[in-house]
Every structure is written in structure tokens, then in C-alpha cells.
Amino acid sequence: STHARINANNMKSAVICCGLSCLDLQLLGCTRSGAEEAIEHYEEAVYCAGGSASMNAATLSLLTKSSSDVDVHVLTKLGRDFNGDKMLQFYRETGSITDMVLIDPNVRTSMAVLPVFASGGRGCFVNLACNEGFTTDELLLQLDSAPDNVRAFLFGYPHLLPSIQGENLHAMLKSVKAKLGETCLIGVDLNGVSIDNHNDGLLRPALEEIDVLHLNEEEASILCGGEDSSSLHSYGCAVVLLSLGSRGVKISITKDSGRLSRCPGQIKRWNAGSSLHVPAFKIDGDINANGAGDALFSGFCLASSYSDETNVSLKQAGEFASLVARQRCDTKTRDSAPESANCLMKRVQEGNLPDIIV
């Protein structure tokens, strides 16, 4: 059998990773005693490029760096400052293309401090800074220099981008689709959703433009009152990717076959109304779960946007995404991604998968 290559027709494609960004200061190996004023310890302090645009770009750049057929672009807003320079350096080191990054000398680059707990999980303290004034107009202007053949546009964290919500988000995604074409997958990743900052008008108007929506259990309980994502589908979202942490991922497809047929890439071939649970795979090294959701989401969108010459089933896209997240959560493979996208897809197609977390 012919193994899926990222682009079967050898034409170079691009993915644009867009949205929130911040310089993350990760405090690794944190203790967590539970006492409010206890002195906690950490093993190591590490800077990395954080936020949706950065995490998705890093995951995909590392996955595709050995193949010459996918370019990964970052589209975000930074200040002209130390943190902004550090972000650009991180982007370039992973192999992401930074031509579409907006540098605004009048704003500060965002920074987050993330205690990553030795027992698993993480905390987050953030100053959103330049993200708070990032507008749809600024975003669309940067998109004017987008390359041809963009297979996926991944946008992250609308709840933390006050100017890109509700009707603004809807209009932006519509304009993106008009600019990049019908073959471009539109993915949206949620983070920072709380009872305080969520209302139905924030996301609902945009759902009809979203091919893949990613959220976790906590976010699903706020948006849908639980794991049942049918309300998201009823407003027009085609695929819902629900992270269950170490229990894997639940994927559901819209019942609306008309909506499904308008999806790009592989998605239009999947069965309307189907749903699937894909388990998480065991990790060999120490765990760093910072960016795990982003990796799952970007991996799934990469698999879903394979061109028509290739067949990727819903189950295969889910398993591929789970492998991508596993590689990103393992401290040994996190920043090198020794197995490329083509390697991981070959493993999925051959059923050569690691042990699952039971």
C-alpha cells in the first residue's frame, strides 16, 4: 500500500498558526503541598514560546522539518522588546516562518509564568499585554502576505483575545476562508474559558465557519453543560475534538451531511453523526503537559488536511493526533520530535502504536 505523505501531489502546502502568543517561563518539577503560603520548590526554569500560535507552530514545525513539502507560518502580535525578540528567536529555531508576525513598538509582548507540577498538570499566571489589542483588521492585513496553497488556518484562544470574539471572530474567519480558499481547513482552539468570561455570543456566531473545534472537559461543561457537543454541531461546527487528558480524546462529527460536504481535506469523507474515542498513549520519559492540547489539536488538523489523493480515516486522524501529543508531552522528545509527521502517519497506517494509558 502507498503510505500517506503529507502532500501526495508534491506541491508545497502551508499551515498558518494564528492567535494568542506569550513568552512562557516554565518552572519545571514544581512541588505542590496544597498549603496556600507554603514555600514550594522547582527543579528548573525554562523559557519557551507559549500561547496558541506559538505552541501549534512549534509542534508542526518540528513534525515537518525533515520534509520539504509543508511550511509553517506564525501570525501573532508581539512588542518590540526583549520578550518579543526572544519569541522570534524561538520561532526561527523550530523552523517556523515569521514573515506574518506583527511587531508593534507601542505595546508589550505578553508573558506567562507556568508552574509545571512534578505530579502532573500545570498552573498559569499571565499578563495578556499585546494580545488585548490584537484586532481582526491587524490580523487580516498580515494575512495579505500569505502563501498559496494554505491547507489549514489554526486560530487559538478567542476567550483571551477581547477584540476577536463574537461577530468579529465570525467575520474574521469568513474573510480568512475567502482569502485562503475553500480547500483551507479552519481550526479553532479554546483556552482560558471561564464562567466569568464566556457567553453564548462569544463563540456561537462563528461556529458555522469552524471545521475543527478543540476544547477540554472543563470548557465543554461551560459551553455545553457536559460532554455532549451536539449543541456546538447544531450551530454549524463540523468536528468537535474534546480532550480528556490522560483518558485520550473524544471526537464527534456533525449529523448535517450538507455541512460535512463543505469541509476541506479528509473531513468530508467521514460519516455524518459518527463519534469516536481515541485513548492516550503511554509516555516513556518525564511528563511536561504544557502545550499537550495544542499538540493534539494541531496534529489532528494536519492529519485532517491531507490532500484528496490520500485517505485518512477519522480513527487514523485521532490516533495520529494522540501520537503527536505523546511526543510533545515527553520531555525527551518534546523539543526535537524525532519521529516526523510522515513516520507517525506510517505507524498509524500499520497499526504500530504504543501501549495505551489504561
DSSP string, 34-54: --TT-----SEEEEEEESHHH
> What are φ and ψ of residue 300, in 5° steps?
-65, -45
Distance (Å, whole) CA 27 – CA 24: 9
Task: Spell out a b/e string for 77-93, using b for 16 or more CB atoms within 10 Å of the CB, else e.
Answer: bbbebebbebbbebbee
What is the Cα–Cα distance from 176 to 307, expressed in whole angstroms? 19
pLDDT of residue 67: 79
Q: Return the pLDDT at 8.
A: 46
Contact at 8 Å (CB) between 272 and 293?
no
Count of other CB atoms within 10 angstroms of residue 192: 18
In a structure prediction context, what are the per-residue pLDDT tens digits for the chain, which is 358 residues long?
344 554 444 578 999 999 999 999 999 999 998 888 999 999 999 999 999 999 999 999 999 988 778 999 999 999 999 999 999 999 999 999 999 999 999 999 999 999 989 888 888 899 999 999 999 999 999 999 999 999 999 999 999 999 999 999 999 999 999 999 999 999 999 999 999 999 889 999 999 999 999 999 999 999 988 878 889 999 999 999 999 988 999 999 999 999 999 999 999 999 999 999 999 999 888 887 778 899 999 999 999 999 878 899 999 999 999 999 999 888 888 888 789 999 999 999 999 999 998 8
Helices (H), the chain: 52-64, 82-94, 136-142, 166-180, 200-203, 217-224, 230-234, 257-261, 292-304, 314-329, 341-350
Give me the DSSP letters along 225-246: SSS--HHHHHTT--EEEEE-GG
Report the Cα 25 to chain-centroid distance in Å. Answer: 20
Q: Please tell me the distance from the alpha carbon of residue 57 to that of residue 52, in angstroms, as a whole number.
A: 8
Residue whose entry in the numeric block shows the C-alpha cell 496558541? 52
